[in-house]
Amino acid sequence: MTDPITFDDFLRVDVRVGRITRAEPYPEARKPAIKLWIDFGPEIGEKRSSAQITVHYAPETLVGQQVLAVVNFPPRQIGKFISEVLVLGLPDENGAVVLVQPGLEVPTGGRLH
Query: pLDDT per residue over 38-83, tens digit each?
Result: 999 999 999 999 999 999 999 999 999 999 999 999 999 988 899 9
For the entire predicted model, the pTM comes to: 0.94
Q: How many domains does the chain have?
A: 1
64 is a domain residue? yes
25 is a domain residue? yes
Residue 79 belongs to a domain with what CATH number?
Answer: 2.40.50.140
108 is a domain residue? no
pLDDT tier at 35, thresholds 50, 70, 90: very high
82 is a domain residue? yes
Choice between 68 and 2, residue whose per-residue pLDDT is larger: 68
pLDDT tier at 86, thresholds 50, 70, 90: very high
pLDDT reported for residue 2? 86
**Residue-wise DSSP of 12-73:** HS-EEEEEEEEEEE-TTSSS--EEEEEE--TTT-EEEEEE--TTT--HHHHTT-EEEEE-SS
Q: Which domain holds residue 14?
A: 7-99
